[in-house]
Chain A
Amino acid sequence: MLKVKNIKKSYGKVKAVDGLSFEVKPGEIFGLLGENGAGKTTTFRIIMGLLDADSGEVTLDGKKVDYSMTDYIGFLTEERSLLTKMTVKEQIIYYGILKGMKEKDIINKLDQLLEEFEITDYKDRKIKELSKGNQQKIQFISAIINDPILLILDEPFTGLDPINVEMMKKQIEKLRKNGCRIIFSSHQMDHIERFCEKMVILVKGKVILDGYVKDIKNDYKKKNIFVNGDVTEKDFKDIEGVLNIEKQGEDIVIKIKDNSVTDKIFKVISKKKITKFVEEEPTLNEIFITKVGEASGK
């Protein structure tokens, strides 16, 4: 299990990470969310041992993460971390050997992964000649070439089209099934929603929300009701507990404070001719915007 225990890191007076703790069990995918500059990359760097935390500790299966452990960790950085003058094969061998692998094993694994990502023709091509999406695939391959027991993915889907996103998701799912612990950061909330069991939202290095995604969504009482039929926005505006009303295509979307407001809305529409009445849970995106907004006073 990966245990991050109360880590703190400051740059001068700026607190980059302020008392962050979480655990990731084998086969679990953990989401780390936050605005730009919230402390996600600093957290990743501390986990990888690139930065020393001011206090707190990071352990993997009970051992402090150091250079004896990094051979079993995969790391995909937010920016492309590839030496573009190298060929795909040279690059993967380079990173693979730095992970303590043998060249023969690296090539076998590379052939398999290139096939799965449908880019076998690029093996001897220079990285600078590849498209951004294919470079991202190569970067992902370099992160998982060693079959890691811990995989850190910082914005892994950047620059990928939907088809390639699906390919990568399949690989992540495969790794999860094999017991790999995966930490994941993304600005695209739908990815977090689909993948992660657990998550943390950071604002200026501080945790403002953490727990299982399902619980977070349940605890978040605000909901959206989609109504379509012989009604107008005016019919709902005086109901207590209605936070916002807007038109989305043919539908009226009513944002409500909590479940108690649903009955009041239902009473109004029961007297009208209605073709659609759907109560939807809030999206993670909504929760994120609300929580980050509250925490940063926006």
Chain B
Amino acid sequence: MASKFWFLTNLGLKKKFKTKWFLIANILILLGIVAIVNINTIISFFGGEFEAKNEVVIIDNTNIATDIFKKNMDNTNTLIGENIETDIQISKEKEDKVIKELKDTSKILIVFNSSEEDYLSAKIISEGTIDVMYYQVLMQSLSATKTEIAMTKTNIDKEELAKITQVIKVDRKILDEEIKSEDENMEMIMSTVFPTVILPFFILVIFLIQMIGAEINEEKSTRSMEIIISNVSPKVHFFSKLLSSNIFVMTQGLLLMIYGGIALVVKNLFGVKDASSSITDSIGQIYDALNATGFMDKLYYIVPLTLILMVLTFITYSLIAGIFASMTVNIEDYQQIQTPIMLVLLVGYYLSIMAGMFEGSILIKALSYVPLISALLAPSLFMIGQIGIIDITISIILLLLFNMVLIKYGLRIYKVGILNYSTDKMWKKIFKAAKTKEI
């Protein structure tokens, strides 16, 4: 029976990979990703001005930070590879007066201070939010400035070194009361977690649900299911289908990452004016972005935990899709019955996008434990620091238990469902099948 399981799994994979549609779809996806990543270059190609200068006003209470900061801004720009231009003005006015002048402008006020406890601290004040990338440039430049000041002021011993390398404390204020600081978190989610994690995952889950439904319904509607099930148990058939479909979507996910890499290479080759820029700059840029948010320290455990959560969620959705598909007679029926699954997925998707808006919400935190949406919601909440490693672990445990329950009762339904060719009293049949003990 084991060899039949692997045969069915291999056959399922061949059916998915060895098609011209797989090739065509992937070429289109690759072109799409390259186009999205290089959208600025594409738009610029057709003309227009997109590079506005940033204006920064500095009040330097330390008297030494400004020049170092200016130099570091140039260095960081070069390091990141972005052509971000900044016009830096030094103000001798009082902080309150300058703050008033910020009204209805895009200017950013940076106030430098120092104390015995800290070589350099800064306030960053603006009317609205600051572009994530530019904010990272500022943060890196500030950190470098602090380090340089500290090094000139002290003879470095171990303790001093620790102080120097400590991340700069920033008292961030947004004057417009209608804009909350979560909006910047939101921007972070939208610019980093969303395109790299949530959106591809969401698309792959939809793909998985539809693929399993279509395959099972094809076998049912052609009645080949009867021949298959007369030779292998429903359990073997179900799990082989699940395995091949999950391997397929995970491979597709991997391909999406590779396409993302190709898109970055293309961007570096054709998209920036600085000829010295390379792919390493782009990777460095991502690294810097993550580092500026303090995310790098958590990366070694958040990546595996998120992956586990996602793999388990793929399994959950494929189990549900398989069970529902077994109860339907044709693909049209399946498309109707899959609507509730899609809705749940959509709820998770929107919650993950809006996660930053609900800081401190117990409901949102609780929802991040809920199987089916936890893989979408938890990474977003984690990125903005609303949940921790324990919460993600709880989500994983709950998802695991949920999958076990689905397997136990789902197999009973599947066995009855795959040979059911009538939609009459379908839910009654599902509940009756779930109660049967033998599978």
Which A residues are closer than 8 A to B by beta carbons?
Answer: 45, 48-52, 67, 70-71, 73, 75, 77, 79-84, 94-95, 97-100, 142
Check B230–A49 contact: CB distance below 8 A: yes
For B236, the closest partner residue in chain A by CB is: A67
A76 and chain B: residue at smallest CB distance: B227
Q: Are B4 and A81 in contact (CB under 8 A)?
A: no
Task: Name the residue among B1, B7, B224, B230 with the largest chain A CB count within 10 angstroms.
Answer: B230
Shortest beta-carbon distance, A10 to chain B, in Å?
Answer: 13
Interface SS of B by simple majority: helix
- Listed in ascending order, the chain B residues whose CB lies under 8 Å from chain A are 1, 4, 7-8, 11, 218-219, 222-233, 419, 438
Q: Do most interface residues of chain A lie in helix, strand or loop, or is the interface mixed?
A: loop
B223 touches A81 (CB 8 A): yes
Chain A residues with CB below 8 A from B230, complex form? 48-50, 70, 73, 75
Inter-chain CA distance A83–B230, complex, in Å, is 16
With known contacts A51-B419, A98-B232, A81–B226 Cβ distance under 8 A = yes
Q: Is the CB of A83 within 8 A of B224?
A: yes
With contacts A45-B419, A83-B218, A94-B11 taken as known, whether A99 is within 8 angstroms of B223 at the C-beta atoms is: no
Question: Are the CB atoms of A81 and B419 closer together than 8 Å?
Answer: no
Other 5 A-B pairs with CB < 8 A, given A67-B1, A79-B223: A50-B226, A50-B230, A70-B230, A81-B226, A82-B222
Separation of A79 and B221 alpha carbons in the complex (Å): 10
Measured between C-beta atoms, what is the minimum distance from A66 to chain B in Å?
9
Chain B nearest Cβ from A99, distance in angstroms: 6
Contact indicator A81/B227 (Cβ below 8 Å): yes
**Which residue in chain B gives the minimum CB-CB distance to A98?**
B231
Task: Enumerate chain B residues within 8 angstroms of A81, measured Cβ to Cβ.
Answer: 222-227
Residues of B within 8 A of A75 (CB): 226-227, 230
The distance from the CB of A64 to the nearest CB of chain B, in whole angstroms, is: 14
Which of A81, A94, A97 has most chain B Cβ within 10 Å? A81
Q: Provide the bound-state CA to CA distance between A99 and B227, in Å.
A: 10
Cα distance A81–B229 in the bound complex, in angstroms: 12
B226 touches A100 (CB 8 A): no
- A83's partner among B219, B231, B233, B438 (CB-CB below 8 A) is B219
Also in contact, A98 and B4, with CB within 8 A (given A50-B230, A83-B222): yes
Closest Cβ of chain B to A25, distance in Å, is 23
A97 surroundings in chain B (CB, below 8 A): 4, 7
**How distant is the Cα of A57 from the Cα of B438 in the complex, in angstroms?**
16
Give the residues in chain B near A71, CB-CB below 8 Å.
231
Shortest beta-carbon distance from B222 to chain A in Å: 6
Of A67, A71, A84, A95, most buried by chain B (CB within 10 Å of CB) is A67
The 14 sampled A-B contact pairs (Cβ below 8 Å) are A48-B230, A50-B230, A51-B419, A52-B438, A70-B231, A75-B230, A80-B223, A81-B224, A81-B225, A83-B219, A83-B224, A95-B227, A98-B8, A99-B231
For A77, what are the chain B residues with a Cβ–Cβ distance below 8 Å? 223, 226-227
Closest 6 pairs (CB-CB, A-B): A98-B231, A81-B223, A79-B223, A48-B230, A81-B224, A81-B227
The minimal Cβ–Cβ distance linking A266 to chain B, given in whole angstroms, is 54
Residues in B whose Cβ lies below 8 Å from that of A50: 226, 229-230, 419
A50-B419, A75-B227, A77-B227 known; A67-B232 Cβ under 8 A: yes
Residues of B within 8 A of A100 (CB): 4
Decide if A84 touches B226 in the complex (CB within 8 Å): no
Structural contact, B7 and A82, CB atoms closer than 8 A: no
Determine the residue in chain A with the shortest Cβ distance to B4.
Answer: A98
Contacting residues, chain A, for B7 (C-beta < 8 A): 97-98
Chain B residues positioned under 8 Å from A94 (CB to CB): 11
> Which residues of A have CB within 8 Å of B8?
98
A70 to B438, CA, bound (A): 19
Q: Report the Cα distance A97→B14, complex, angstroms.
A: 15
Within the complex, which residue of A45, A67, A73, A99 is in contact with B233, where a contact is CB–CB below 8 Å?
A67
For B7, the closest partner residue in chain A by CB is: A97
